[in-house]
C-alpha cells in the first residue's frame, strides 16, 4: 500500500479510535494524546503493516498497547512515589477508578457500569459490541485466541448485568 493511501485509510478510523480512547482514558486531553501517539506509531511503523489484513484492527491494537504501556508506567511510578522518591513528569494515561479533574462524567447507568469493568472486559465489549468488530479482529487486538474473546464477552456481560441490577435496586 502506497504511503499516501495508507495515511488516508488510517485517518478514516480517527473517530472510532478517539471514541475507544475516550472510554479507556475517560479524559479528553488524555484521549487526544493517546490517539496522537497511536497515529505517530502507526505512521512510523507503517512498513510493518501487512496489506490485506485489517487496518482497523491493527490501529486499535496499537492504541490499546500504547494505553497499556503508559498505564503500566503510571502504576510503576505511583509505587515509587509512595516510597518517597521524587516524582518526575506526569504520566500520559491512567486507569484509576477515581475520577480525575478533567474526567468526563458518566451520564447513564450503562456508562457507569461500563467504567467499573476491568479493562479487559471493557475493551472486549467496546470492540465487539460498540465497534462491531469480528471476533477474529478482536482477538488480534487483544492478542489472544478467539475462544478467549468469546469467554471474555460472556463474562463481561455477566458482570455488566450484575452492575446494572445493582443500579436498578438503588
Q: Is 95 in the site for another protein (CB under 8 A)?
A: no
One residue of 111, 118, 119, 151 binding another protein per CB under 8 A: 111
Q: What is the C-alpha separation between 119 and 136, in angstroms, rounded?
A: 19
The DSSP annotation for 34-45 comes to HHHHHHHHHHHT
Scanning 66-74, 95-103, 106-114, 136-144 for contacts with another protein by CB under 8 A, the matching segment is 106-114
CA dihedral 11, 14, 15, 20 (to 10 degrees): 150
Q: Is 99 in the site for another protein (CB under 8 A)?
A: no
CA nearest neighbour of 25 among 17, 36, 34, 16: 34
Cβ at position 80, least distance to another protein in Å: 31
Nearer to another protein, 31 or 77 (CB): 31
Q: What is the C-alpha separation between 66 and 42, in angstroms, rounded?
A: 11
One residue of 79, 80, 96, 110 binding another protein per CB under 8 A: 110
Which residue in the block uniquely carries the three cell numbers 479528553?
A: 28
List, in order, residues 6 or more apart from 74 with CB less than 8 Å away. Answer: 91, 93, 94, 95
Cβ at position 90, least distance to another protein in Å: 20
Let me know if 157 is exposed, middle or buried by CB neighbors in 10 A (0-12, 13-18, 19+): middle
Q: Is 164 in the site for another protein (CB under 8 A)?
A: yes
Scanning 11-19, 53-61, 80-88, 140-148 for contacts with another protein by CB under 8 A, the matching segment is 11-19
Query: Which residue ranges make up the site for another protein (CB under 8 A)?
Result: 3, 7, 11, 14-15, 17-19, 22-23, 28, 31-32, 35-36, 39-40, 43-44, 47, 107-111, 114, 125-126, 129-130, 132, 157, 160-161, 164-165, 167-168
Amino acid at each position: 500500500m502506497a504511503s499516501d493511501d495508507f495515511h488516508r485509510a488510517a485517518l478514516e478510523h480517527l473517530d472510532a479510535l478517539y471514541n475507544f480512547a475516550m472510554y479507556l482514558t475517560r479524559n479528553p486531553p488524555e484521549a487526544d494524546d493517546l490517539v496522537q501517539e497511536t497515529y505517530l506509531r502507526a505512521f512510523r511503523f507503517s512498513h510493518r503493516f501487512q496489506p490485506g489484513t485489517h487496518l482497523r484492527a491493527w490501529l486499535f491494537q496499537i492504541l490499546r498497547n500504547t494505553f497499556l504501556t503508559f498505564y503500566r508506567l503510571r502504576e510503576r511510578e505511583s509505587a515509587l512515589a509512595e516510597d518517597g522518591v521524587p516524582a518526575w513528569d506526569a504520566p500520559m494515561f491512567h486507569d484509576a477508578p477515581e475520577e480525575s479533574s478533567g474526567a468526563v462524567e458518566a451520564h447513564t447507568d450503562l456508562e457507569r457500569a461500563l467504567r467499573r469493568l476491568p479493562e479487559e472486559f471493557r475493551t472486549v465489549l467496546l470492540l465487539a459490541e460498540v465497534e462491531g468488530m469480528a471476533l477474529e479482529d478482536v482477538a488480534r487486538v487483544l492478542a489472544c485466541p478467539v475462544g478467549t474473546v468469546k469467554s471474555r464477552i460472556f463474562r463481561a456481560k455477566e458482570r455488566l448485568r450484575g452492575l446494572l441490577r445493582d443500579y436498578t435496586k438503588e
